[in-house]
Structure 1
């Protein structure tokens, strides 16, 4: 609890800044400052509690003005800045200070104080929303209850799940930049640490992002990329409060809001003005109020809407939705009718429409087809603010990013250029570092041989001492920490004689009147490497289920080899893993009766070894969970693979390892993927699902990509 003298000083400052402070607000704020400040860890917490109330008192003050006032109040009550002299000792007042007199005597030209002392305003009327007061009090009460609950949990010694934590070194320059009128939108985080439980993800790392550049964050699975994005989004790493951040991570909650309106509502300023305009017109049309102030305010609202070009917003939102695959009919549907994948697209559309100062994207291409990916690449190339994107799609990174941030060995290295430039520069840098290390080691060894030879020779004592001093002055170079190579190994199987899998004259639909496929004829054998492409909703997953035998054709036949054992992988199987078990227990639950070493060996074939195999699945990264699902699929020793988007959440190295493993696999492969590099490495045949049939493209992925680009060009 703060001292009473400090609280009185804070109230006097508040009254000098807000002459219209009425008794109700004064009692509310005074109650917070005198009794409840311990519940606020930062200035932002205090601003959240009283900021909206203070803004209501003086419409001329901006949120930044109110935040500065809260900062002064917070410093006084916490005794962190105010009242401490340059030697670090508390100042002692020899006489009472009357703040009002000081304010009147200040020189108006003094810039140092003009931002602190504010003139009294003629209008002393107070228009305070009591509902906001009650809402602020409820927030404080909720925070107190949460803190009490956390304290109780710790005191009872109950198990607390591992969460990410961060520590960050701040400088006086950072504080000055965030509070000055010349605010920068560059982001500079220096010497910060991030840990997940006992595992240190980053140690003494630096992250610098210039405003308007597009950064790709790359690194191995489980190294902390997604954790870093979440900590930036949650402000657990200190970023200036004036920088708006939006993290596209969770799907939109389904309700009765139309998809187009869901995007439009993201622009809260436009939405609030539209609502206000509607309410004013209702009052004027009903005749209940004819106040000239309403007409004046309505004119102001119309002017603000015109300045922001609000009439163009629906067209811009529609263009974004169309680019992400929403047809005009889908844009008019309510959000609860969409699946999870489409709601993720809707969340991406909302972010693109909002244009925050820092846009955080985590695997944005996972839920998109090739057409939507190409559109997104083109759209982001002219993005006006800063982007930080985590993606495994090499072609997407090459098309979008201007810089690469490489997370490895608990640090972040920055590289200019796209992903291809990054790989070239990094390989060259590693070679030079290794050469420098080898040369210095050879020089050190040469000197050490001389020291060891003449260490006890009195005639050479001065020379030995000189060599020892030379060794001490040499900079210490560390050997290059090479990342372990990723290897995936699928079990060996016997080759099957053709035909292995075939569809003859197949008609399929969920009703005879609404067919999805008509007269479908496709076949594959043990050497097939087929990629299925097409727009979302064209029927790719339905085709896979017909090939698997999960769906029966209305007419026609599915013919499969009698010895075929299909290994089916999809993101659905990853989501169905028991998150409470470790990876060994997941395999043992599905295939019991084997020794623990057998399960470890199986997991090790897919890069899940050592301590990773004993960790709960819930603590693994998305890519590590996918590897566990691969290991589970391989337990049946399949001789034919059907893989639906297997690269989701896998890092670059694992995708390359997957391509090599599939090329060595003796059975057939049918793949649904939008990863252009993987398709080029594996597939020799391309099936295009379109217009209720399947067409074989002789030109492969290049021909399909050209078709998509021509279609997008025609739409524009």
Structure 2
């Protein structure tokens, strides 16, 4: 049974976001919505929920259908109320009086600790705010869920709870979810919709299988385009040859044939579609400067402590060799970022117990992208952290997905994805041979994640990493250090940790 039908849908703002979009959502559909940042995912979700207008096409829904949209951003008015009251306010007055129990049930199913429910929403982490927004929609008993990046700000444990909730409590509710978390999409969806400016594609499979099918389709389209253009060029060559013969012989028949060949070539070129290329949010490139040292970092036996002196876990002896990409695994709050901070301090010459080879050139990116602090604009960041000239800086920024119209504006107005790509660009310009990256895929779309993965593998980068992105960890990690039983130990694979956290 069709619940929502999108027919020839299109939205044009300063440029077309998408057009001629056709999609049906029926009972049992669990659809992943995939596109690069800024390509219209949020706009499409708002349009389906009736909160945004479309330029053309139509949206029809089953009579009486309740559509619940989980947005990315918390309404400002909710920040000053408790999580419980924020969820309660989604009910109408009669339900508030007689069915307030729905709130506790929703929060219980999403495993929200009781002590958090009376805290102000504005004082909670972004992850808990995202859970509150989901609970607000769920208590209204929607027939279809629309979710916009629900895993943003969630640690792996919370992602596991969300996956379990979608596959159990909410298993009877169809949904459309926009997400850049590839493993999450594989775990919860049964269809995938790739949103594109002109030709969007739907597949009856989860992300990984659908992506393979899409890649095959794009390769076939590229081959077909090349064949059609070659055919058109051949017709034009034939036409040119006949034209010369026709002029020399005075044959009207040959000249008419020449015109026919030109018309056929033009029709082929007009109908030929070039293979899809994403209007890229920018390429991510990394580079390695040389080093002859085998062990770049050696960590001696020591303790990682919090400021009050309490021990979190013991480390060492451990080492990081050239070409190692070490992923640090641990539950939220276990001290992963604190450990990375200690290594960063050693790289900058301020930490005992960690030896760094003299040839190490560090490149550091933390969760807050603090390497962007102190710069007034993207142009200032590039020219201020390298010796490139203005013209080259603008070209580098454009290649990183920072449009010319924002290159001289405040960094604060950039999107999360643009800030992440700018941070990666600054790392590249520093030409490090040892990267320390804390959640580097935060805010990157799938295209950006894959670009970063490719660059790390292509350049055989040496790195110390923290990431909750399972696909990224599996792709780039060569060694894995796990915090368990108050000790940082090396393990063969991240899979045991993933299973434990997701359970």
Q: Once the 2 structures are TM-superposed, how far is the Cα of residue 209 of structure 1 from its aligned partner?
A: 3.5
Q: Contact conserved, 1:508 with 1:516, CA < 8 A, in 2?
A: yes
Q: How do 1:25-424 residues align onto structure 2 when only pairs under 5 Å count?
A: 185-195=3-13, 198=14, 200-202=15-17, 204-212=19-27, 213-229=29-45, 235-237=51-53, 243-251=66-74, 253-255=78-80, 257=82, 259=83, 261-262=84-85, 264-265=87-88, 268-269=91-92, 272-275=94-97, 314-320=104-110, 322=111, 326-331=112-117, 333=119, 335-381=121-167, 382-424=170-212
Give the structure-1-normalised TM-score: 0.58
The alignment partner of 1:643 has SS state of strand
Structure 1 residues 687, 352: CA separation in 2 closer, same or farther (over 3 Å shift)? farther
Structure 2 residue 483 is matched with structure 1 residue 483: no
Q: Once the 2 structures are TM-superposed, how far is the Cα of residue 500 of structure 1 from its aligned partner?
A: 1.6
What are the ranges of 5 or more consecutive residues in structure 1 without an aligned counterpart?
1-182, 276-300
Partner of 1:517: 313
Structure of higher RCO (CA pairs closer than 8 Å, 6+ residues apart):
2
The alignment partner of 1:649 has SS state of coil
Structure 1 residues 457, 348: CA separation in 2 closer, same or farther (over 3 Å shift)? same
Partner of 1:704: 497
| C-alpha distance in structure 1 between counterparts of 2:430 and 2:254, whole Å | 72
Structure 1 range deviating more: 211-220 or 639-648: 211-220
Structure 2 residue 419 is matched with structure 1 residue 596: no
- Please identify which structure carries the higher strand content: 2
Structure 1 residues 539, 350: CA separation in 2 closer, same or farther (over 3 Å shift)? farther
Q: Once the 2 structures are TM-superposed, how far is the Cα of residue 664 of structure 1 from its aligned partner?
A: 4.2
Structure 1 residues 423, 596: CA separation in 2 closer, same or farther (over 3 Å shift)? same
| Per-residue deviation, residues 368-418 of structure 1 (Å, max 9, x unmatched) | 222322332233245434433222222222222233222334553333322
The alignment partner of 1:630 has SS state of helix
Structure 1 residues 415, 558: CA separation in 2 closer, same or farther (over 3 Å shift)? same
Structure 1 residues 619, 358: CA separation in 2 closer, same or farther (over 3 Å shift)? farther
- Please identify which structure carries the higher helix content: 1
Instruction: Give the greater-gyration-radius structure (CA).
Output: 1
Aligned residues: 480
What are the ranges of 5 or more consecutive residues in structure 2 without an aligned counterpart?
none
| C-alpha distance in structure 2 between counterparts of 1:451 and 1:526, whole Å | 60
Structure 1 residues 316, 616: CA separation in 2 closer, same or farther (over 3 Å shift)? closer
| C-alpha distance in structure 1 between counterparts of 2:224 and 2:315, whole Å | 66
Q: Once the 2 structures are TM-superposed, how far is the Cα of residue 685 of structure 1 from its aligned partner?
A: 1.5
Partner of 2:417: 623
Q: How do 1:483-632 residues align onto structure 2 when only pairs under 5 Å count?
A: 483=277, 487-495=283-291, 496-498=293-295, 500-512=297-309, 514-518=310-314, 522-549=318-345, 557-561=353-357, 564-573=360-369, 582-588=377-383, 590-591=384-385, 594-600=388-394, 602-603=396-397, 606=400, 608=402, 613=407, 617=411, 620-632=414-426
| C-alpha distance in structure 2 between counterparts of 1:273 and 1:231, whole Å | 27
| C-alpha distance in structure 1 between counterparts of 2:267 and 2:433, whole Å | 62
The alignment partner of 1:210 has SS state of strand
Give the structure-2-normalised TM-score: 0.79
